[in-house]
Amino acid sequence: MSTSATDRPTVPRWLLIGWAIVAAAFLVLRRVDVAGDPGVSNIISLFVVLSALLGTFAWFLLSKRFSVRRKLAGLVCVAVALGVMLALFRIGLGGDLGLRFEPRFGGPDTDPAVPIAEASGAVRLPRAAATDFPGFLGASRDNRVVGVALETDLEANPPQLLWRQGIGAGLAGFAVVGGYAATLEHRGEEELATLYDARTGALLWATVLDRGPLFGGGVIGSGPRTTPLIDDGRVFAHSVQGKIFALDGSDGSVLWSRDLLSDYPVGEEELATTYPYGRSNSPVVVGDVLLVAPGGLPGRSLSSIAALDKATGATLWEAGSHQISMATPQVATLAGLDQVLVVNEDFATGHDLSDGRLLWQLELPGKTSSNANVSNAVAVPPDRVFVSKGYGIGSALWLIEARPSPEGLPYTATPLWQSQRVMRTKFTNVAVDGEHVYGLSEGVLECIELATGERVWKGGRYGHGHVLLVGGVLVVSTEDGEIVYVEATPQDGPNELARFEAVSGQTWNPHAIAGDLLLVRNSQEAAAFRLPTR
């Protein structure tokens, strides 16, 4: 039997031309930095390709060139293919907003999240040693680990896996002191502060911080975003909904708490737009002072930064009129004065540590719901501040001087250089080593000169992970859960020294190194390794 002309599966010229245009547009979007943000290029690319596929399938269904039987067969094939794909893979978005396909089966064998046991009260959290990692970004909040010399030949001296197990969801990291590791996690409808034995993975206590529907879901997942702080035998935690807790390190009991949403009220109708991803400002302690980012609403109660008495939670001072961002306050001595550096939603500001007085400010445009400020300001004593951001903004170095500004502030911030090309950090923070800056710029490791902003080298696509500087080694946690050693040198870089798999799945959580202990986690599992040292 001959096939009629109407059944002949030929493709019209206009469809071929359309696909050629789509292919050309896709290649341009992949190679050209269209908006200064790979995420924008990826979303446009996805939209273009999906539109082309849907258009082609619509033509197939509406065309008279194919019989009803073929159209039904096509529908069945597409439905089966989609069903198989969804059954085999979890589909999500990476930090660059590109599609990620993670296998649902065949991952490493992990226990379910370890059970919450009765608190024994036997824990004795010591004061942090020089090599401990007591909070977000380490002991000095600068992404540097001191007193440790890593062995980089991991083939001859492989890291020892101490434990790997399931953990509750969230983007928190670990704080590690004296062999104990604190973190925050989301289990069921509860947000918890948890303390583990860092060497065995045993859960020592868990304290409920919040219940009910929590912020999150969608692209960045659910649960807490902050990393707790261990200080003088206590654990300070900041929940995703803005509750501050001081917990007894021995058993997790609550010593005091503050509810920032109550103290600096935001109505339910404004909550989703004001804090679309919840709170991600980790607590900072300086002496007897706990620094937090309260937030609020303009015209009501809005503060960019507040100092609390760490023993009681009482407010010592509050300052700033800019909406909070997703960054964490930093403390440094600049231009001869102890200051708190705050990255707000649209400005970076410096405040007198003693009373919160606004000293200087510089523009750092952003909107938390779309192009959030996440990276911290980095002090470069005696008088410079480095800032960086993704979303096409880039980085800058500012000079802070103790002379009145044109706006009437007691200190002046003057840009030394600004560049949209280099150090476009998104979820991560940089490490400054002498006169060079290292960091993940839109997921690619980069080294730049601090004084000029000139790129020294760039390479190694590690995704939107995190970097710790340990001696002369950059320890990179990749978005895929690997740990990579890269030589921290401006010469002939990037020189990758070693790598190994730490955890499975998308990993945006910061890692921690305390002495020879490495702790890594994501929203599915956590692991601890003993690293070979020299």
Return the pLDDT at 214. 61
Amino acid 484 reads V
- Whole-number Å distance between alpha carbons of 331 and 85: 49
Return the pLDDT at 323. 94
Mean pLDDT of 338-366: 96
Question: What's the CA dihedral at 280, 283, 284, 287 to 10 degrees?
Answer: 170
pLDDT > 50? residue 262: yes
pLDDT > 70? residue 7: no
Return the pLDDT at 420. 93
Mean pLDDT of 442-467: 96
Kindly report each contact of residues 496-502 with a partner whose C-beta sits within 8 Å and lies 24 or more positions away, as own/partner: 496/460, 497/152, 497/473, 498/152, 498/153, 498/154, 498/155, 499/154, 500/154, 500/158, 500/159, 502/477, 502/527, 502/529
Average pLDDT, the chain: 89
Cβ atoms of 308 and 292 within 8 Å: the answer is: yes
**pLDDT tens digits along 275-285:** 888 899 999 99
Return the pLDDT at 3. 47
Could you please state the CATH topology (level 3) that the domain comprising 144-530 is classified under.
Answer: Methylamine Dehydrogenase; Chain H (2.130.10)
Helix (H) or strand (E) holding 73: helix 68-88
Q: What is the 3-state secondary structure (H, E, C) of 314-377?
A: CEEEEECCCCECCCCCEEEEECCEEEEEEEECCEEEEEECCCCCEEEEEECCCECCCECCCCCC
Mean pLDDT of 185-210: 94
Q: Which residues of 123-153 are buried (b: 16+ CB within 10 A; e: fewer)?
A: bebeebeebbbbbbbbbebbbbbeebebbbe
Q: Reply yes or no: is the peptide bond before residue 382 cis, omega within 30 of 0.
A: yes
**pLDDT tens digits along 461-491:** 999 999 999 999 999 999 999 999 999 999 9
Residues with Cβ within 8 Å of 438's Cβ and at least 6 positions away in sequence, in order, are 430, 431, 432, 445, 446, 447, 467, 469, 474, 488
The DSSP call for residue 5 is G
- Whole-number Å distance between alpha carbons of 183 and 501: 21
Q: Break the chain into its structural domains and give their ranges.
A: 5-91, 144-530
Return the pLDDT at 86. 82
